[in-house]
């Protein structure tokens, strides 16, 4: 080995040591109460053995193992790492027009690294990215060069001209007619598809770039300029085209959908997860149950502070849409509490580190208020853990174990928390304040953060 490569090897070892403590092959959490991600009460006075990156033993009797590192929980709560069901690490400008006009790849990439670190240090050990990035950041995290959650990327959003996936300015030439790409198109964040052939081509391109599932924009949205939220953007045949490609990969389609027409059409076409799903009701529930489908919803849509979010307040079209949408979605929470669908937690933040920490903390708080702490915690752990696994044995990057549960055989993605989150959800960061919340450096009551058997935080 020459001197230069020796130096770079040393530099590499030093920098990786700074990121995470080197894994002990065995770690024991002793004296913990367990929230397992599924049950509505804690399993009291337990001991948990981690070998390499898996949970291998859970026992009410003390566990001993040679050379194991011991973490004495002293009656704290051990729970699964949190899972973001629908986020956008690469969408880190202040709004969609801002991302289109003012941010080049370099700034978006650097900011996504900061967002990934912030997500992990807020307890999110897995992240389903709902569009806007391929597998580049994920690969950098999995290889240990960058710290962040496990990522299930969706690649570029797929939607037709003028849809929620169309970030262009009014004067930007059309991709389909003129062959000129928007910045979103050039950066691989969005893929305009106005025909069944184009939908299939966009989906295949995403899988080629490392997507684990496909994201389509099948109805209008709020944070974009040209699409009324009432728009049903894709026909059943068009949605079936996306599902056909996903099926061929053993994977699935997640679909941005608001209206009841759109929700039912998606389920008919074989879409497995409904995103936002604000017009969820009894009929949608019946179909979801038949098809074993999931939905995820951003609870901030029901926050009194929604209008202050920069992606909305900076875009007059969005501000107007947000007001009518909130009025139209008034039955959502009652219906969710009545039918209890397979509901995944999602924050869906577009923005930088500070804004997204504020939004995540407020989302957890709202969810606890609206649907209760237990349903919220389940949605953030075991429900999202089952949902991400829809990407199938072949494409699932983390196929060797379960996520979102404290169970023998599950990945060792764990949080050790002061207090009981089932009783008081602020112990995992929930905050009643949104835009008034002060900057924070992690969450003080989150004492240990472990991902894949490695400890990223330990303040015991």
Structure tokens at 168: 């262009």
Q: How far is the CB of 157 from Zn ion (least distance, A)?
A: 8
Q: Which of residues 280-309 bind Zn ion (CB under 5 A)?
A: none
Written as one string, the DSSP assignment of 22-57 is PPPSEEEEEEEEE--SSSSSPEEEEEEEEETTEEEE
Q: How far is the CB of 331 from Zn ion (least distance, A)?
A: 22
Q: How far is the CB of 228 from Zn ion (least distance, A)?
A: 17
Q: How far is the CB of 311 from Zn ion (least distance, A)?
A: 10
Angle at 336 between CA 333 and CA 340, to 5 degrees: 155
Select 49 or 254, whichever has its Cβ closest to Zn ion. Answer: 254
Q: How far is the CB of 312 from Zn ion (least distance, A)?
A: 13
Among 348, 357, 396, 452, binds Zn ion (CB under 5 A): 348
Q: How far is the CB of 343 from Zn ion (least distance, A)?
A: 16
Residues 6+ apart with CB under 8 A from 409: 54, 55, 56, 401, 402
Given the rule CB under 5 A, which of 30-38, 123-131, 159-167, 284-292 is the region that contacts Zn ion?
123-131
Given the rule CB under 5 A, which of 113-121, 143-151, 344-352, 366-374 is the region that contacts Zn ion?
344-352
Residue 350 interacts with Zn ion (CB under 5 A)? no
Select 147 or 387, whichever has its Cβ closest to Zn ion. Answer: 387
Residue ranges of E strands in 140-180? 150-152, 157-159
Q: How far is the CB of 276 from Zn ion (least distance, A)?
A: 8
Select 223 or 416, whichever has its Cβ closest to Zn ion. Answer: 223
Select 130 or 133, whichever has its Cβ closest to Zn ion. Answer: 130
Given the rule CB under 5 A, which of 153-161, 165-173, 341-349, 448-456 is the region that contacts Zn ion?
341-349
List the x/- string, 72-111, binding to Zn ion by CB under 5 A.
----------------------------------------
Structure tokens at 181: 């790409």
Select 130 or 450, whichever has its Cβ closest to Zn ion. Answer: 130
Residues 6+ apart with CB under 8 A from 4: none
Q: How far is the CB of 87 from Zn ion (least distance, A)?
A: 8
Written as one string, the DSSP assignment of 62-91 is ----TT-EEEEEEEEEEEEPEEEEEE-SS-
Q: How far is the CB of 164 from Zn ion (least distance, A)?
A: 9
Strand bridging mode 273-276 / 190-192: unpaired
Q: Phi and psi at residue 2, in whole multiples of 5°?
A: -80, 170
**Inter-axis angle of helices 332-339 and 353-371, nearest 10:** 60
Residues 6+ apart with CB under 8 A from 124: 81, 82, 83, 84, 149, 360
Given the rule CB under 5 A, which of 109-117, 124-132, 224-232, 286-294 is the region that contacts Zn ion?
124-132
Select 227 or 348, whichever has its Cβ closest to Zn ion. Answer: 348
Residues 6+ apart with CB under 8 A from 168: 100, 182, 184
Residues 6+ apart with CB under 8 A from 270: 239, 240, 243, 247, 253, 291
Residues 6+ apart with CB under 8 A from 60: 45, 46, 47
Given the rule CB under 5 A, which of 1-9, 177-185, 259-267, 343-351 is the region that contacts Zn ion?
343-351
- Look-up of token digits 């090897």: 9
Select 159 or 421, whichever has its Cβ closest to Zn ion. Answer: 159
Residue 312 interacts with Zn ion (CB under 5 A)? no
Which helix (H) or strand (E) segment holds residue 184: the answer is: helix 183-186
Given the rule CB under 5 A, which of 34-42, 128-136, 184-192, 321-329 is the region that contacts Zn ion?
128-136
Select 77 or 94, whichever has its Cβ closest to Zn ion. Answer: 94
Written as one string, the DSSP assignment of 218-269 is -B--SSSSS--TT-B-S-HHHHHHHHHHHHHTT--EEEEE-SHHHHHHHHHH
Q: Is 49 exposed, middle or buried (0-12, 13-18, 19+ CB in 10 A)?
A: buried
Q: How far is the CB of 84 from Zn ion (least distance, A)?
A: 11
Select 224 or 373, whichever has its Cβ closest to Zn ion. Answer: 224
**Inter-axis angle of helices 332-339 and 282-291, nearest 10:** 40
Residue 130 interacts with Zn ion (CB under 5 A)? yes
Select 255 or 383, whichever has its Cβ closest to Zn ion. Answer: 255
Given the rule CB under 5 A, which of 129-137, 172-180, 237-245, 317-325 is the region that contacts Zn ion?
129-137
Select 149 or 453, whichever has its Cβ closest to Zn ion. Answer: 149
Give how many residues touch Zn ion by CB under 5 A: 2
By the criterion CB under 5 A, which residues form the site for Zn ion?
Answer: 130, 348
């Amino acid at each position: 080995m020459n001197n230069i490569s020796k130096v770079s090897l040393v530099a590499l070892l030093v920098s990786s040591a700074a990121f995470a403590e080197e894994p002990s092959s065995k770690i024991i959490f002793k004296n913990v109460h367990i929230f397992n991600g599924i049950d509505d009460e804690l399993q009291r006075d337990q001991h948990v053995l981690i070998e390499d990156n898996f949970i291998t033993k859970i026992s009410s009797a003390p566990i001993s193992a040679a050379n194991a590192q011991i973490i004495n929980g002293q009656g704290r709560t051990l729970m699964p790492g949190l899972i973001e069901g629908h986020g956008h690490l690469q969408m880190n400008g202040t709004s969609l027009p801002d991302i289109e006009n003012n941010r080049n790849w370099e700034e978006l990439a650097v900011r996504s690294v900061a967002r990934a670190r912030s997500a992990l240090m807020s307890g999110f050990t897995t992240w389903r990215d709902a569009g806007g990035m391929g597998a580049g950041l994920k690969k950098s995290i999995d290889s240990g060069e960058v710290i962040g959650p496990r990522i299930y990327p969706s690649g570029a959003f797929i939607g037709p001209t003028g849809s929620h996936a169309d970030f262009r300015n009014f004067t930007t030439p059309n991709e389909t007619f003129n062959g000129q790409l928007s910045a979103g198109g050039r950066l691989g964040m969005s893929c305009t598809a106005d025909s069944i052939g184009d939908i299939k081509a966009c989906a295949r391109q995403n899988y080629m770039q490392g997507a684990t599932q496909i994201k389509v924009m099948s109805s209008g949205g709020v944070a974009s300029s040209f699409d009324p939220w009432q728009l049903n953007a894709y026909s059943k045949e068009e949605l079936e085209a996306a599902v056909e490609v996903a099926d061929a990969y053993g994977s699935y389609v997640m679909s941005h959908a608001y209206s009841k027409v759109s929700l039912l059409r998606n389920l008919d076409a074989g879409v497995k997860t409904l995103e936002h799903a604000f017009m969820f009701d009894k009929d949608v529930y019946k179909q979801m149950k038949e098809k074993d489908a999931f939905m995820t919803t951003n609870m901030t849509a029901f926050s009194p502070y929604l209008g202050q979010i920069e992606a909305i307040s900076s875009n007059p079209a969005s501000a107007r849409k947000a007001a009518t949408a909130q009025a139209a979605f008034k039955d959502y929470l009652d219906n969710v509490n009545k039918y209890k669908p397979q509901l995944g937690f999602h924050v869906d933040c577009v923005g930088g580190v500070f804004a997204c920490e504020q939004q995540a903390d407020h989302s957890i708080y709202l969810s606890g208020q609206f649907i209760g702490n237990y349903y919220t915690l389940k949605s953030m752990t075991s429900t999202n853990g089952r949902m991400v696994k829809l990407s199938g044995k072949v494409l699932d990057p983390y196929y060797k174990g379960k996520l979102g549960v404290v169970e023998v055989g599950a990945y060792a993605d764990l949080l050790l928390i002061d207090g009981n989150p089932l009783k008081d959800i602020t112990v995992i960061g929930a905050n009643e304040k949104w835009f008034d919340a002060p900057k924070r450096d992690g969450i003080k009551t989150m004492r240990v953060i472990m991902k894949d058997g490695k400890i990223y935080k330990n303040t015991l």
